[in-house]
Amino acid sequence: MRLRPFMDPLPIPKVLKPKERGKNSTYYEVRMVEFFHQFHSQLSPTKVWGYEGQVPGPTIEVEQGETTNVLWINNLPDKHFLPIDRSLHSSGHNMPEVRTVVHLHGAEVEPESDGYPDAWYTNNFQKCGPRFTRKVYTYPNTQRPTALWYHDHALGITRLNVYAGLAGMYIIRSEEERALNLPSGIYEIPLVIQDKTFNEDGSLFYPSTFEVPNPPPDFPNPSITPGFAGDTIIVNGKAWPYLEVEQRKYRFRILNGSNERFYKMRLSSGQQFIQIGSDGGLLERPVRLDEITIAPAERMDVVIDFSNQEPGTSITLTNSARTPFDFGAEPDPSTDGRIMQFRVIPRTSEDTSTVPQFLSRIKRYHECDVKRTRDITIDVGQDEYARPLFMLNNHEFMDGVAEDPVVGELECWRIINTGLGVHPIHLHQIQFQILDRIPIDTAAYTQTGQIRYTGEPESPLPNERGWKDLVQAPPGYITRILVKFGPYTGRYVYHCHILEHEDHDMMRPLDVVKPKCKPEKKLCEE
Ligand code: C2O
Ligand code: CU
Ligand code: CU
């Protein structure tokens, strides 16, 4: 069935109320439950999993410096409703089918509250993964104000749990940011963009098979695929919704919560986006862009000014990104080529909000302060069933830790992509800065391991010059980022955020370690 676009109004996820509010802390309880959700008024209700019975989950709003404690409760059934691939690591038959663990993406938190993939647990904490340590997670919210998002991160089934609906937004605010007088209240709107495919009966479709030439007799069924993109674009839980906007400025907190799909967004009115923030908070200055490319898990803080539009005008937010990005199929203008629609109506009051020319100071890292450089190669191999296998530094998740940055020391990570597609690489614990991207001779690199530059370093795009927790690593380039882990030590992960890649071993553990004791120092803690 063809769903009619722009039929349903855009829902705004509810803001979650804390169960308890202390002097400088809040306590929340969030339940993961199975329920039915209507993605479009022409579609029968769809079985989903969501936080607090909502898809996307309720927005959690906190004040900078307030400590948030959250009990994330798994009240899900014992059986998954999406196809589980038992051949993946930690998804074997000895593992409970339904396991969850919540990660607050982009948050600076201690490892015990970061949602390590092996810290999963089942319904009512009956069974726990090897790295499970605590039920209540603590978020200090000491970082810069920004939009984060919480989502499931259980080892081997993250793609299924997130696709089932386990994702929501989390916004940190501050007085300083409020003083900027950006559009706020009902004029500040989160946009969680995802994609789904529906079966005739309204149920969610997720592929269960994958074909390789000459498969071995024990080829897994169900099998993971190298990526999945749905044909229906969902914003805040509705397919191709519309939003009535007054003739004035709006602030949109955009999140790409899709498994694999990138979006190259434009406004059909030809207007520009005014981007004011990236993953880790406000940029130094607003940047005007005709087009924004947003990778899975990236956030973009964007102002759109509708004040010069006539009432009655309809503006489509379009998408021109190929899938897989950026070498696959062109989007279809009637389905994945469009995201949502804005309908301009007259202003109900004067627009007194502003977009200041200076937003926030960003202290730049300098290459000359780098203590250590690490190369992270993106490798394409084959697993034991001849399926494509993406890896980082030719390692699988279960191979031991190879990255052990010292807390507080600046490092340069060089992500070397010799493959075909763009991989969105995400680091836990910190926000980093993008240094540049340098084109290389990939054939020479794969044959000899020698890096031969084929062009000048390319500076990050204007909207990438703020704090980031994810970087788009394009093929044929070395993408260089400057990272400084801290203030916490311990075990985290970094990974590709295409969820089918992440689940199929494009994820690695990482240990943030204390500085080694220098022999000349008398006092030593260890
Ligand atoms: Cu948004 Cu490790 O993930
Ligand atoms: Cu993360
Ligand atoms: Cu990838």
- pLDDT tens sequence for the chain (526 residues): 689 999 999 999 999 999 999 999 999 999 999 999 999 999 999 999 999 999 999 999 999 999 999 999 999 999 999 999 999 977 777 899 999 999 999 999 999 999 999 999 999 999 999 999 999 999 999 999 999 999 999 999 999 999 999 999 999 999 999 999 999 999 999 999 999 999 999 999 999 999 999 999 999 999 999 999 999 999 999 999 999 999 999 999 999 999 999 999 999 999 999 999 999 999 999 999 999 999 999 999 999 999 999 999 999 999 999 999 999 999 999 999 999 999 999 999 999 999 999 999 999 999 999 999 999 999 999 999 999 999 999 999 999 999 999 999 999 999 999 999 999 999 999 999 999 999 999 999 999 999 999 999 999 999 999 999 999 999 999 999 999 999 999 999 999 999 999 999 999 999 999 998 765 555 544 4
CB-defined site of ligand 1, < 6 Å: 103, 105, 151, 153, 297, 426, 428, 493, 495, 497
CB 187 within 8 A of CB 249: yes
pLDDT of residue 246: 98
Give the ligand whose atoms come closest to the C-alpha of residue 153: 1
CB 192 within 8 A of CB 298: no
Distance between Cα 161 and ligand 3 center (Å): 18
Distance between Cα 102 and ligand 2 center (Å): 10
Distance between Cα 497 and ligand 1 center (Å): 7
CA distance 131 to 161: 19
Residue 175, SS3 per DSSP? helix
Region for residue 115 given its phi and psi (left: phi exceeds 0; alpha: psi -120 to 50; beta: otherwise): left
CB 380 within 8 A of CB 390: yes
Q: Which atom of ligand 1 is nearest to the CA of 470?
A: 1
Give the ligand whose atoms come closest to the C-alpha of residue 493: 1
pLDDT of residue 429: 98
Sequence-separated (6 or more) residues with CB below 8 Å from residue 156: 85, 88, 89, 90, 91, 95, 117, 503
Minimum CA distance residue for ligand 1 atom 1: 105
CATH topology identical between 20-174 and 367-524: yes
Under CATH, which number does the domain 20-174 receive? 2.60.40.420
CB 144 within 8 A of CB 282: yes
Give the ligand whose atoms come closest to the C-alpha of residue 502: 3
- The C-alpha R_g of the chain, in whole angstroms, comes to 22
CB 29 within 8 A of CB 73: yes
What are the residues whose beta carbon lies below 5 Å from ligand 2 (ion)? Answer: 105, 428
The CATH H-level (homologous superfamily) assignment of domain 367-524 is Cupredoxins -  blue copper proteins (2.60.40.420)
CB 122 within 8 A of CB 160: no
Degrees, nearest 5: CA angle 24-29-30: 130
Sequence-separated (6 or more) residues with CB below 8 Å from residue 511: 401, 403, 404, 405, 489, 490, 491, 492
CB 323 within 8 A of CB 331: yes
The CATH H-level (homologous superfamily) assignment of domain 185-345 is Cupredoxins -  blue copper proteins (2.60.40.420)
Domain extents in the chain: 20-174, 185-345, 367-524
Tokens of 6: 């722009």
Distance between Cα 449 and ligand 2 center (Å): 30
Cut 0.85: pTM above it = yes
Beta strands in 188-298 (DSSP E): 188-198, 204-205, 232-235, 238-239, 242-246, 249-256, 263-267, 273-278, 281-289, 292-294
